[in-house]
């Protein structure tokens, strides 16, 4: 199998080198002769078998996947220990870990061939007339946003609790003209549209983020967006599909929520993503699931609702399309106690074939590239891509900080890319070491930090854990305890009436101070809790409170001493006067 894999990778490299060579030859021809024939030749070139978007390599990869599957079956049938271990596994309760990586196009086939040695490919049928089997399925997703506020974009980028996004997805959709041969241009339009809502939840709120979906006819999408396609119409559609009563209730509830959110927030088609997805997974075994999204193209939509709610291929202007130069590898592990991460997964993600990009999002990347004047923030990975007019846009720097007591499943995907990210962060914060230590401390407890890099704010959001809220509560209780002690001292001073005006004045002053600082503690607790909940990038330590408390208490003590000394002097002078 290793020999076949090596031959397969050599064929893939040969095809890619030939394609790049022809492109460079044509560019040299155009510049030397001043005759531009590259558009015509490019179209002819994309019809050749060595073009990367054609199917021959995909078909060959499927055959290699079948060979690897047969080899695994032979090994499993002869390995009794393996069969017993597999039989004893239970995947009813699991912990899901998801990581995303970028793969260079020249390394894409190497990664695919390495994965098929361990996981088979899910087969898809293309809509071509030949109905040939291919290793990837084309996916077309339209994301909705309010371009005036970009609220969904900001919430998803900041990973705010409850942040959601809404997209309309179709499969086997006609592909964008610029990237595919002509035989893919006129694929029939899908008749079913899947409306999906992805909701982000923090780990301490729910185990996983939620993805919910419903399906409607493509002819009803425009009426749905305008609010004319009502829940009654949708219920009739569900009854025709023979849904169960529970499925009808859940779909109807989701229908109402999505339509209400879209109408209330004025959501319109904003960004379209088109790509080919190759999925890998063992039949009946969900412990390891891998997908590769290649040939990714991002398209800027009309930013308004129209009867044709997304741009057709012929309507796409070259300036409104962005071809992503990498493939996106997504690794999903479903592990529970006692189940180890496969060694081949560790080896793959730690190799130089892939590079980890935390929280990568196709939608967010598309907004940055195609709507640079509208986005209020930029993600951390965007530094490697030239973004038009982005010099005044704040940058979100996502750097994950892990605790030492986290188990192995949380760190199985750490590679050299993380070291580069930490070095990049340190290069930003190395102006003042004291400031760097302070920022690192704030990151560790899970708060947001603001720094300046080339006069551009850099925000470092970290995950907010429950212990952060509890720390805020403990701080509040400490303040209340101190205030109660001060109040008790004031009441005690009022009880010593023998000292007269001095004890009364001191007691009243201490009680007033305790009440004022109790009020201050409540206000600070509320403000800090709000900032923690909404990941606001501000300082969380109390700069003025302790200093003010020290100054006020010192003033009360000095006032008490001055009154006591003054009263004692007056008493001595009066005693001397009457004695004389």
Tens-of-pLDDT digits for all 580 residues of the chain?
777 777 877 877 787 787 788 888 888 888 888 887 877 777 777 677 666 555 557 677 777 777 877 777 776 665 544 433 343 343 333 446 778 999 998 888 889 888 988 888 876 554 444 455 667 788 999 999 999 999 999 888 888 888 899 999 998 766 554 444 444 445 567 788 999 999 887 765 545 678 899 999 999 999 999 999 999 999 988 888 878 888 888 999 999 999 999 999 999 999 999 998 888 888 777 678 899 998 899 999 999 998 888 888 778 888 899 989 899 999 887 755 455 778 888 899 889 899 988 889 999 999 999 998 888 888 888 877 776 654 456 655 543 333 333 343 334 433 333 333 333 444 434 444 545 555 555 554 444 444 443 343 444 445 566 777 888 898 999 999 999 999 898 888 887 766 667 778 888 888 999 999 999 999 999 888 887 776 665 677 788 888 888 888 888 888 878 877 877 777 777 777 666 6
Residue environment code for 508-517, b if the CB has 16+ CB neighbours within 10 A, otherwise e: ebbbebbeeb
Pairing of strands 95-104, 124-125: unpaired
Report how far residue 142's alpha carbon sits from residue 139's, in angstroms, rounded to the nearest whole number.
Answer: 10
Contact present, 211 and 196 (Cβ < 8 Å): yes
Q: Tell me the CATH class for 52-396.
A: alpha beta
Report how far residue 11's alpha carbon sits from residue 56's, in angstroms, rounded to the nearest whole number.
Answer: 11
Residue 397 burial class via C-beta count within 10 angstroms: exposed 0-12, middle 13-18, buried 19 and up: buried
Question: CB within 8 A of 292, min separation 6: which ones?
Answer: 103, 108, 111, 112, 115, 136, 277, 278, 280, 327, 328, 329, 330
Secondary structure letter of residue 127 according to DSSP: S
Mark out the alpha helices in 88-220 (DSSP H runs).
Answer: 105-116, 151-158
Beta bridge partners of 145: 268
What is the DSSP track for 158-176? Answer: HT-TT-EEEEEEEESPPPP
Name the token pair of 40: 């015509």
Query: What's the confidence (pLDDT) of residue 178?
Result: 46
Beta bridge partners of 451: 458
Query: What's the confidence (pLDDT) of residue 85?
Result: 36
Beta bridge partners of 234: none
What is the DSSP track for 240-300? Answer: HTT--HHHHHHHHHHHHHHHHHHHHTT-EEEEEEEEEEEEEEETTEEEEEEEEEEEEEEEE
For 508-567, give the secondary structure using H, E and C: HHHHHHHHHHHHHHHHHHHHHHHHHHCCCCCCCCCCCHHHHHHHHHHHHHHHHHHHHHHH
Name the token pair of 279: 């999925």
Contact present, 33 and 103 (Cβ < 8 Å): no
On whether the pTM is more than 0.85, the answer is no
571-580: which pairs have CB atoms within 8 A and are 24 or more residues apart?
none
CATH 3.20.100.30, the chain: domain bounds:
52-396
Name the token pair of 455: 């006069």
Cite the beta strand spans of 345-410 per DSSP E: 354-356, 395-396
Name the token pair of 141: 């997703």
- Nearest residue to 238 via CA among 220, 259, 226: 220
Angle formed by the axes of helices 151-158 and 362-370, nearest 10°: 130
Residue 194 CB neighbours (<10 A): 15
Name the token pair of 145: 């946003």
Report how far residue 353's alpha carbon sits from residue 349's, in angstroms, rounded to the nearest whole number.
Answer: 8
Secondary structure letter of residue 463 according to DSSP: -
Query: What's the confidence (pLDDT) of residue 403?
Result: 34
Query: What's the confidence (pLDDT) of residue 133?
Result: 62
């Amino acid at each position: 199998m290793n020999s076949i894999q090596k031959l397969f990778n050599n064929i893939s490299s040969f095809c890619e080198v030939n394609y790049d060579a022809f492109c460079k030859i044509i560019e040299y021809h155009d510049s030397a002769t001043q005759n531009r024939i590259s558009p015509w030749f490019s179209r002819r070139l994309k019809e050749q078998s060595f073009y990367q978007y054609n199917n021959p390599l995909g078909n060959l990869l499927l055959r290699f996947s079948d060979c690897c599957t047969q080899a695994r079956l032979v090994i499993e049938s002869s390995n009794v220990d393996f069969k017993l271990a597999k039989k004893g596994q239970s995947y009813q309760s699991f912990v899901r870990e998801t990581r995303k990586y970028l793969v260079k196009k020249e390394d894409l086939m190497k990664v695919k061939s390495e994965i098929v040695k361990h996981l088979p490919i899910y087969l898809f049928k293309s809509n071509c007339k030949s109905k040939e089997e291919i290793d990837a399925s084309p996916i077309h997703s339209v994301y909705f946003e309010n371009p005036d506020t970009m609220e969904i974009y900001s919430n998803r980028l900041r990973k705010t609790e409850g942040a959601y996004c809404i997209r309309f997805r179709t499969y086997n959709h006609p592909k964008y003209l610029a990237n595919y041969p002509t035989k893919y241009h006129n694929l029939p339009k899908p008749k079913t549209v899947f409306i999906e809502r992805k909701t982000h939840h923090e780990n301490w709120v729910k185990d996983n983020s939620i993805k919910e979906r419903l399906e409607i006819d493509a002819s009803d999408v425009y009426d749905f967006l305008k609010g004319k396609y009502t829940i009654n119409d949708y219920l009739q559609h569900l009854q025709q599909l023979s849904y169960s009563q529970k499925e009808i209730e859940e779909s109807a509830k989701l229908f109402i929520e999505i339509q209400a959110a879209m109408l209330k927030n004025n959501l319109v088609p904003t960004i379209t993503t088109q790509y080919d997805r190759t999925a890998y997974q063992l039949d009946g075994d969900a412990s390891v699931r891998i997908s590769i999204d290649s040939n990714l193209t991002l398209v800027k939509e009309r930013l308004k609702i129209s009867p044709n709610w997304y741009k057709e291929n012929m309507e796409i202007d070259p300036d409104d399309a962005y071809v992503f130069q990498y493939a996106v590898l997504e690794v999903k592990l479903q592990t529970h106690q006692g189940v180890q991460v496969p060694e081949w997964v560790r080896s793959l993600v730690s190799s130089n074939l892939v590079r980890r990009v935390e929280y990568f999002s196709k939608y967010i990347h598309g907004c940055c590239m195609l709507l640079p004047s509208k986005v209020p923030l930029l993600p951390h990975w965007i530094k490697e891509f030239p973004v038009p007019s982005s010099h005044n846009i704040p940058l979100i720097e996502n750097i994950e900080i892990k605790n030492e007591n986290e188990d192995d499943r949380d760190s199985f995907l750490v590679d050299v890319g993380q070291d580069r990210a930490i070095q990049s962060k340190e290069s930003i914060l190395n102006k003042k070491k004291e400031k760097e230590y302070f920022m690192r401390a704030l990151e560790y407890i899970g708060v947001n930090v603001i720094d300046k890099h080339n006069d551009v704010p850099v925000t470092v959001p970290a995950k907010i854990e429950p212990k952060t809220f509890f720390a805020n509560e403990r701080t509040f209780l400490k303040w209340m305890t101190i205030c109660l002690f001060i109040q008790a001292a004031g009441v005690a001073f009022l009880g010593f009436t023998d000292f007269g005006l001095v004890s009364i004045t001191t007691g009243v002053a201490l009680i007033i101070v305790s009440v004022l600082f109790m009020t201050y503690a409540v206000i600070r607790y509320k403000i800090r809790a709000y900032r923690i909940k909404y990941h606001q990038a501000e300082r969380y330590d109390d700069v003025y409170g302790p200093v003010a408390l020290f100054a006020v208490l010192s003033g009360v003590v000095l006032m008490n001493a001055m009154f006591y000394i003054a009263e004692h002097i007056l008493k001595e002078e009066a005693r001397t006067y009457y004695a004389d």
